[in-house]
Amino acid sequence: MFPSRSNDRLLWILRGSAAISGIVVLFILLYLVLGAWPALRNLGLSRFFFDEGWHPTEDVYNLSPMLLGTLAVSFGAVALATPLGIGAAVFCNSYAPAPVASLYRGMIALMAGIPSVIYGFWGLVTFVPLVARFVPHGQNLFAGCVILALMILPTIALIADASIARASKEYQQSSAALGLDRWRTLRRVVIPAAGSGITAGIFLAAARAIGETMAVIMVTGNVVRVPDELFQPTRTLTANIALEMAYAMGDHRSALFVSGLALFVMTLVLTIVAQFFGKVRSHV
């Protein structure tokens, strides 16, 4: 009787907490839609893609440069962080002596715990002036990608590390028995086996990159501009909301909610894609 009763209680607690997190997400979505509704009704969806530019006080509301800005900064960051993160994980698992590996893991975990505003501040006072030695304006897309890559690197490295460790345990001895060397074991056996876990980590990191605000505001320059050059400034959707929300009114404020809604949709798509990869793994 006792076990079933405590099981029952646990079940209700779990149901309750699951319901709370689900309801919170729905409420956020509802809040965004309600906030965005006046702008969508007054301006129409197409103006957010075809207006002259983004100058809400002059009544033009083109969001598309910032959609592209968010995509460019996030993509650049993921492209930089992925090889570094996987490299770090492989080093930890297969090449580093045990004490070095555990120290290294600890350092990466520490890196994951540094608040984004610190990365941004360091970027602004140290990295941006460095970039400015080579190009006229240091706050640009490139600086944003690098700072963001440093921020998401631990996510990719730690998840890849865990997936590789699991795969190694399963396969390393068998492949050693087959006479494969360390590099081949890694390339042909362990990494393919850990592949879906690594991919899920990359998507998780990408979601973090898309949502990042403080670090990005300090280093990308925030000029509303289609990100067609690496060393020119750009603005992300999150930066747009953070920069303008405090003083926005009327349609301007509502248009910022549309930015938020666009972000929500982007993260949703990413999550669905990540889940698809997760499913692939469980079927293998």
Partner 1 sequence: MPHLCSRDFIRPLLLLVLAFAVSACSRSGSEERRTLVLTGSSTVAPLASEIGKRFESLHPGVRIDVQTGGSSRGINDARQGLAGLGMVSRALGEKEKDLKAYTVARDGVALIVHGDNPINSLSDTEVVSIYQGKIGNWKTVGGMDAAITVVNKAEGRSTLELFLHYFKMKNSEVRPHVVIGDNEQGIKTVSTTKNAIAYVSIGAAEYAVTHGLPIKLLPIAGIPATLATVAEGTFPISRPLNFVSLSEPKGLAKEFIDFARSEAVHDIVRSQYFVPITEQ
Chain positions contacting partner 1, by CB under 8 A: 1, 4-5, 8-9, 12, 16, 52-58, 60, 124-125, 128-129, 132, 136-139, 217-218, 221-224, 233, 235, 242-244, 246-249, 252
Which lies closer to partner 1 via its Cβ, residue 140 or residue 175?
140
CA end-to-end span of the chain: 39
Closest approach of partner 1 to the CB of residue 124, in Å? 6
Which lies closer to partner 1 via its Cβ, residue 99 or residue 136?
136
Closest approach of partner 1 to the CB of residue 218, in Å? 7
Which lies closer to partner 1 via its Cβ, residue 124 or residue 274?
124
Q: Mention every residue, 6+ apart, whose C-beta is less than 8 A from residue 67.
A: 237, 262, 266
Closest approach of partner 1 to the CB of residue 59, in Å? 11
C-alpha gyration radius of the chain? 23
Residue 69 · residue 234 · CB < 8 Å: yes
Residue 231 · residue 130 · CB < 8 Å: no
Which lies closer to partner 1 via its Cβ, residue 6 or residue 271?
6
Which lies closer to partner 1 via its Cβ, residue 3 or residue 179?
3
Closest approach of partner 1 to the CB of residue 282, in Å? 31
Closest CA to 237 of 224, 252, 253: 224
Q: Which residue has the tokens 């990608």?
A: 145
Which lies closer to partner 1 via its Cβ, residue 60 or residue 265?
60
Closest approach of partner 1 to the CB of residue 21, in Å? 17
Closest approach of partner 1 to the CB of residue 278, in Å? 32
Closest approach of partner 1 to the CB of residue 46, in Å? 20
Which lies closer to partner 1 via its Cβ, residue 44 or residue 53?
53
